[in-house]
Structure 1
Amino acid sequence: MTDNRDGIKLFLQYLQIEKNYSPYTVEYYQGDLLEFSLFMSEQTIAKWDEVEYQDVRLYLTKLFEQKLARKSVARKISSLRSFYKFLVREMLVVYNPFAQVSIPKIEKRLPEFFYEEELVALFEACDEAEPIGQRNRAILELLYATGIRVSESCSIRLKDIDMELSTLLVHGKGRKDRYVPFGSFAHEALERYISYGRREILTKNKKEHDYLLVNFRGGPLTPRGLRTVLNSIIEKSSLNGQIHPHKLRHSFATHLLNNGADMRTVQELLGHANLSSTQIYTHVTNDYLKKTYMAHHPRA
């Protein structure tokens, strides 16, 4: 049996190389595994193969005692279940003690999205006279035009963009590539940023690489950096609250469905493996339709 740290190291390598998970996702898995490893130490459990079902139940009780959200508990259990499944596959343990643990039901919340007038306020908050403002406008237009994930946007290289056909090659989860079209607004913003803003940022910092999105120092923009950029944009706008990349992704899907796009097309554009992942947006659009009906029908 390998050392506990070796087991975690092997699993994280598996997630990065075989599963092609983003650094952000791998970081979450690592945190969950280290936390459980600490619990094992508290229970004087030395090795992964010494963990039994009753230990898992005790750990689950401890998580609920910490008053964690059900979503957080579900994620931790899911991480550990996947980890043990990997250990069984590699014949490092005999069985998976998490296999029979039921993940607590998560309360389904409707995805938040921006209304079109809110998006206009965001776009107008970007000062396109400055290179950073051109980059920020390009980020907003790109995320809203394509609905891509934050990890996918940060991995885009110039060679992935076909300006002539207005399409983007997206490297999705599990090494699944897909082509996503983008419209005239995103085309114009990308062209301006690539030709002027990006070039100026790289030249000023004496950097040279082919990643599309760059930080103010000229290096490739990270998912964490992108979130910071989006929050800085909303602070300059007339909107309140926080913004996150998935809210733009949700807006992309919701607005497509509201305007008559079919579910299968939206599924393909989002890169969802299962249609069930896309179907949550029908609840949003149904809510939107009801509000529109109540507001405008004379006998509502």
Structure 2
Amino acid sequence: MNADDASVPSAVPREVLEDFERHLRVERGLSPHTLRAYLGDIRDLSRYAAEVGASGLDGIDVALLRAWLARQHAHGRSRATLARRTAAARTFTAYLFRRGLLADDPGLLLGTPKQPRDLPTVLTQDQAARLLDDLRGEGPIGLRDRAVLEMLYATGVRVSELCGLDIDDLDTERQTVRVLGKGDKERTVPVGDPAARAVQEWLRHGRPALATEHSGPALFLGARGGRLHPTSARRIVHSRIAEAGDMPDVSPHGFRHTAATHLLEGGADLRSVQEMLGHASLQTTQIYTRVSVERLKQVHRQAHPRGTA
């Protein structure tokens, strides 16, 4: 909690906010980014409650929550921000109710603003194959870049998860990789033959040339021998796609979208894709079914004799 908050009127006692922070960090295992966002939202709610004369925690009811969110809307907050602040408020009131600090949970009565979700940009299967087949793996940097792109496409891992991999996370016999995802949740993801071969080439002939005494167990290294940073991994992806030409400039997250979409197009079920990607909710995974349907519609319009009016 910030020191400046002590001088700001607040309906929520400081010790409650500090315990809520521990709850989010330890019990819920939220990422640092989400943790900061939720705490900021609840501090804002607390200040608003004090402004309108709410008498402590008992004054936090559904009418106050709706009025607070209405003010956010009036101030031009985006749907994404409103949805997050609604989620933060519901998490907070559920915490208060479980701790016995509220007689009931007003957050249960809040609706969630629907967010329009744009379909992610993905590579076609032909584009992905051309990109990876034509990628030169010469020298330590070339071998690393090829292994990075192959792993992103093969596993669908987040770029932070890829950069966090250690050498012993890869099981070459079983062709799987152990991934530490959001909320420190561990999952095992299959790795196909091309990606496994690319990583083995990197480990044999590329990594030793870049490794230093400070490299530690990191699977992927930067040019100076330290653990590869997500920013550098993003730069690798964009530059290699630019070299290939004639395909969308997708990010590492675009590779994640691409992997999921191609799995579904190949017949994988949603639950398996959810497990592979480490999604907490199946609803998050379902967006990729929309990508596949949109692609089928496009093929139908182009190929079917009566696909267009």
Report TM bin, short chain.
0.7 to 0.9
What pairs with 1:92-241 in structure 2 (closer than 5 Å)? 92-119=101-128, 123=132, 128-129=137-138, 131-173=140-182, 176-203=185-212, 206-221=213-228, 223=230, 226-227=233-234, 230-231=237-238, 233-234=240-241, 238=245
3-state DSSP of counterpart to 2:28: coil
Retained in 2: the 8 A contact 1:121–1:238?
Answer: no
State the number of aligned residues: 298
Q: Kindly state the Cα deviation for residue 253 of structure 1 after the two structures are TM-superposed.
A: 1.5
Retained in 2: the 8 A contact 1:257–1:263?
Answer: yes
Letter in 1 for 2:276: L
Note closer, same or farther for the CA distance 1:295–1:39 as it changes in structure 2 (3 Å cut).
same
Q: What value does the CA root-mean-square deviation take over the aligned residues?
A: 3.6
Residue number in structure 1 paired with 2:253: 246
Letter in 1 for 2:165: I
TM-score (ref. length: structure 2) = 0.76
Residue number in structure 1 paired with 2:70: 61
Retained in 1: the 8 A contact 2:121–2:248?
Answer: no
Residue number in structure 2 paired with 1:278: 285
Moved more, 231-240 or 290-299: 231-240
Note closer, same or farther for the CA distance 1:137–1:48 as it changes in structure 2 (3 Å cut).
farther
Q: Kindly state the Cα deviation for residue 163 of structure 1 after the two structures are TM-superposed.
A: 1.3
Q: Kindly state the Cα deviation for residue 273 of structure 1 after the two structures are TM-superposed.
A: 4.8
**Relative contact order (C-alpha < 8 Å, sep 6+): which is higher?**
1
3-state DSSP of counterpart to 1:252: helix
Distance 2:272 2:19 in 1: 37
Letter in 2 for 1:55: L
Retained in 2: the 8 A contact 1:88–1:94?
Answer: yes
For the pair shown, which has the larger CA radius of gyration, 1 or 2? 2
Retained in 2: the 8 A contact 1:125–1:234?
Answer: no
Letter in 2 for 1:267: Q
- Aligned pair partner of 1:70 in 79, 96, 107: 79
Structure 1 residue ranges without an equivalent (≥5): none
Note closer, same or farther for the CA distance 1:217–1:85 as it changes in structure 2 (3 Å cut).
farther
Aligned identity (percent) is 36
TM-score (ref. length: structure 1) = 0.78
Note closer, same or farther for the CA distance 1:105–1:65 as it changes in structure 2 (3 Å cut).
same
Retained in 1: the 8 A contact 2:122–2:248?
Answer: no
Following TM superposition, the consecutive aligned residue runs of length 4 or more in structure 1 with deviations greater than 6 angstroms are: 124-127
- Aligned pair partner of 1:289 in 284, 296, 299: 296
3-state DSSP of counterpart to 1:98: helix
Letter in 2 for 1:79: A
Moved more, 290-299 or 38-47: 38-47
Q: Kindly state the Cα deviation for residue 216 of structure 1 after the two structures are TM-superposed.
A: 4.6
